[in-house]
Amino acid sequence: MNTLTLLSLLITVSVSLSNVDHCHGGGDGGGHPSDGGFTVDLIHRDSPLSPLYNPTYGRSERIQNAFLRSVSRASRILKRAYVSAIDANISAITGEYIMRIGIGNPPVEVVGIADTGSDITWAQCQPCKNCYKQGALPFLKPNASSTYHVESCQSKACEALGNDRLACSAENVCKYGLRYGDGSYTNGDLGNDTFWIGSTPLKNVVFGCGHDTNGTFTEEASGIIGLGGGPLSIINQLKDTIQGKFSYCLVSALTKRSNATGKIHFGDHAVVSGPDVVSTPLKRNIPATYYYVVLEHVSVGKIKLPYKVNTTFMKKMGLDTENIIIDSGTTLTIVAQEFHDDLTAALSRVIGDETVPDPQGMFDFCYKDLDLSRVPTITFGFTGADVEFPRENVFIEVQKGVSCLTIVPSVGVGIIGNLLQQNLLVGFDLVNNKVSFRPTDCRNHN
């Protein structure tokens, strides 16, 4: 199966909430009193601004590394969505954005991998009997925080863990345990503490305090920040404060302006409006983590292709009409194999059939010296929303002179990756259950 490249971003806080009384209360941000919103910068992981930046990597190496990370992420998502047919190992590196926050009072900096495909936020805590190295980053010391409390086994938060809940301790402390397909794991106490965005406190945020954590986690991060749709995600814990709204705008991944940044917005700042906005219903399913929508057709120029899936397979997964996930942490877009054949046939009719193999053997539909003006307009027809994607999002130059299609085949539910979403403002409204899109130059978006 050919999947996925990855563009990863470092999240740094630029504007924060103020006067927040607790994590379910109101607040203000960005200098707008009581508007309940705040905004965060998004920096590409390969930017010189990122602590993950490796100046020795060339373009091809960055793409290859991103591809391998993305394969693991897509496999994890598809397995959690009950796709047992995929056998690839799943890396514990579950997201491709990094977010700087503070936890505790006084706050300790946590650099967590922000993941729209995870719900539980966790960080490594002392004492930690078996923890991975995290570079110069400090471990959390829950006993040193005046606002830290453990969750009891009878708490609603503990009940919300579901299958991630471990046996209760003799002291009635709720225990969590997460396992990843590559053998990585994190175990610890479920607690709550003050989270800090900039200098602003958000009280009583539930998270996992890991005392036994190891595996293939990256040393540049000290945990995971869950931004999915489940009950323990940061999005749902702050639901009253941010009115269930967040949006993001991603800059071109390999832009020559390497210091360009995108944005992620929460609350009132996340509203997507204007005459060119289109919206589609957001579908909820089990697990509640993922943001499902319905893809009805894809237009390749004037050629309209109905979207095909393996209905037997989808029903086995418990899915009805919802057939694709919008995910900011997966780079390439995954579609059903049954449809991918039709898509590449239509592209060949318009561009030409003189395709070439990918020298790295990762992609299966490539052209040499592709003139992007030959690429037809690609429009995804979601329920009630036709979204046109820029040509440069559809093909990426993986090696000098070789450009490959960023839409790849797989089985089961599809994934709209972040490469296709670049230079779109994408907004999620979990109260009204809709996703909105607006064409935007994300380099100049505030």
Catalytic residues: 115, 327
Tokens representing 171 are: 């002291």
Torsion from C-alpha of 38, 227, 72, 287, nearest 10 degrees: -160
Type of residue at 360? Q
> Residue 69 has what DSSP assignment?
H
Residue 355 half-sphere exposure, CB side, CA atoms within 13 Å? 16
Q: How far apart are CA 78 and CA 57, in angstroms?
A: 30
Tell me the three state secondary structure of residue 400: coil
Locus of tokens 């990597």: 57
Q: How far apart are CA 436 and CA 429, in angstroms?
A: 8
Whether the CB-CB separation of 97 and 220 falls below 8 Å is answered with no
Whether the CB-CB separation of 207 and 163 falls below 8 Å is answered with no
Whether the CB-CB separation of 3 and 410 falls below 8 Å is answered with yes
> Residue 356 has what DSSP assignment?
B
Q: Omega before 287 cis (within 30°)?
A: yes
Whether the CB-CB separation of 234 and 52 falls below 8 Å is answered with no
Residue 125 sits at φ, ψ, to 5 deg, of -125, 150
Q: How far apart are CA 81 and CA 286, in angstroms?
A: 8
Q: How far apart are CA 339 and CA 326, in angstroms?
A: 18
> Residue 169 has what DSSP assignment?
P
Spell out the alpha helix ranges (H) of 129-213.
156-160
CA-to-CA separations, 108 to 104, 131, 151, 219, 365, in angstroms, rounded: 6, 18, 20, 17, 47
